[in-house]
Amino acid sequence: MAEQKTLADLGAAMGMAASAPGASVSVAPVQPKIDAKGRAYATGRRKNAIARVWIKRGKGKITVNGKPIEAYFARPVLRMLVAQPLNAVARLSEMDVDCTVCGGGLSGQAGAVRHGISRALTYFEPGLRPVLKKGSFLTRDSRAVERKKYGRAKARARFQFSKR
């Protein structure tokens, strides 16, 4: 007759520590992902725009495609959109942001930079993740323009009906 082994016995045989039911499992703290130059990198996306974002400690300078943010995003609404994640974690004057963005229009590019900054902040300081997640800065906004279908005037609009 074969012996019956419990789950704890199997875990011990495999080298895993057996934990009692209801006991909390300790999780190792998440380590920052920082390169040799002291920067964290992340990619942000919105509509057809893709932003590559590098973040490091500094004086709060934001450059987009080699230009200051005021020159690249002329509309104040877009500049506010880009700075939202930094304002949410109170790091606007402590972090330098350098990013390259391509594709889409200015609004999509601003959203992509915002998404990239948020992700880079979580890599730079993992403790900021709950604040950014609550503000829904880490969620990729997947809304994009619907494609035009054949037999239609636009994506959904039909051609005008003519009786004669």
Instruction: Give the model confidence (pLDDT) of 148-164 as tens digits.
Output: 999 999 999 999 999 98
Asked if residues 78 and 106 have their Cβ atoms less than 8 Å apart, the reply is yes
Question: What per-residue confidence (pLDDT) applies to 21?
Answer: 58
Q: Report how far Cα 75 is from the mean position of its chain's Cα atoms.
A: 23
∠ CA 127-107-92, rounded to 5°: 35
Question: In whole angstroms, what is the distance from residue 64 CA to residue 78 CA?
Answer: 12
SS3 133: helix
Question: What per-residue confidence (pLDDT) applies to 31?
Answer: 87
Question: What per-residue confidence (pLDDT) applies to 7?
Answer: 55
Asked if residues 91 and 83 have their Cβ atoms less than 8 Å apart, the reply is no
DSSP per-residue string spanning 105-125: -HHHHHHHHHHHHHHHHHHH-
Residue of higher predicted confidence among 29 and 134: 134
CATH topology assigned to domain 34-134: Ribosomal Protein S5; domain 2 (3.30.230)
Name the pTM for this structure.
0.79
